[in-house]
Amino acid sequence: MAAGITIADLLEAKAAGRKVVAVSCYDYTTARLVAQADVDMILVGDSAAQLMLGHDSTLPATMDFMVAITAAVRRGAPNVCLVADMPFLSYQLGTSEAVRNAGRFAAEAGAQMIKIEATNAYLDVIKALSDAGLAVMAHIGIRPQHITKIGRFKAEATTAEMALEMIALAQQMTGAGALSLLLEGTAAEVAEIVTAQTDVPVISCGSGPGCDGQILIAPDILGLTTGAKPKFAKNYANLAELTVKAITEYANEVRAGKYPDRDHSYHMKPGQLERLNQLLSSSA
């Protein structure tokens, strides 16, 4: 895809059978690097509450925080299709507040699409955002904002009955105006059926290869995360080990007096040190 990727480009990719490459990241520096890697979409997810702030769930992410980091990512990646994640309680309290908050992502952060963790209880929200001129990505399957209610997550649509519910829910989402779907932790066979039956791009987050595109968070791609991670997460580098090694080397050089050296320091203009010493001597 060319620079300046739009939602229309994603719809064309779906129609042409071209895979959409999406990455989730949360800051300007990483976004600049991701944008150089020829990806189509960046999602600024509320998982930033965990990856950036150290919380044990996505729930503490606030609107102000999400708008700020989304704007930072847009500055770092001006030509990538940008999706902003609606945080907990930003859309659950009514359509008017949902439209107002979603509008902030478009007006203040330059987001092109708004993601909502949706059940059929939020079809009116999706319709309201769509009617307001905002593109919506409906996030179904595993929904991290429901952790308090559910307690723990498990793969979705693993039985025929659950699969029928998932397929129906996907149809309801697009019927309400969603222009894209994100399927998280859904059985691959069901995700493939949803993708085949849907006219909008379907992005897989751990939902198998049969979707129109795939998304991983940048820290997992780079090997920066530690501890347990989802089954679908794949590391393409081990930057955590390299980062610790680099910082350890820096610490050793500081303690040994090797850093900073002359080349990494600023210096007075030629002859000015001698003049300074003369001035100090005359004033003594």
d(CA 96, CA 102): 10
- Angstrom CA distances, 103 to 22, 106, 114, 168, stand at 22, 5, 9, 28
Backbone angles phi, psi at 279, to 5 degrees: -65, -40
Cα separation of the two ends of the chain: 70
The token pair at 256 is: 């040994």
Which of 117, 156, 184, 192 is the catalytic position? 184
The token pair at 26 is: 């949360």
Give 131-178 as a DSSP string.
Answer: HTT-EEEEEEES-GGGHHHHSS---BS-SHHHHHHHHHHHHHHHHTT-
**Residue of 200, 223, 224, 221 whose CA lies nearest to 211:** 200
Helix axes 160-175, 123-131, angle to 10 degrees: 30
CB neighbours of residue 21 within 10 Å: 19
184 flagged as catalytic: yes
User: Catalytic site residues?
Assistant: 184
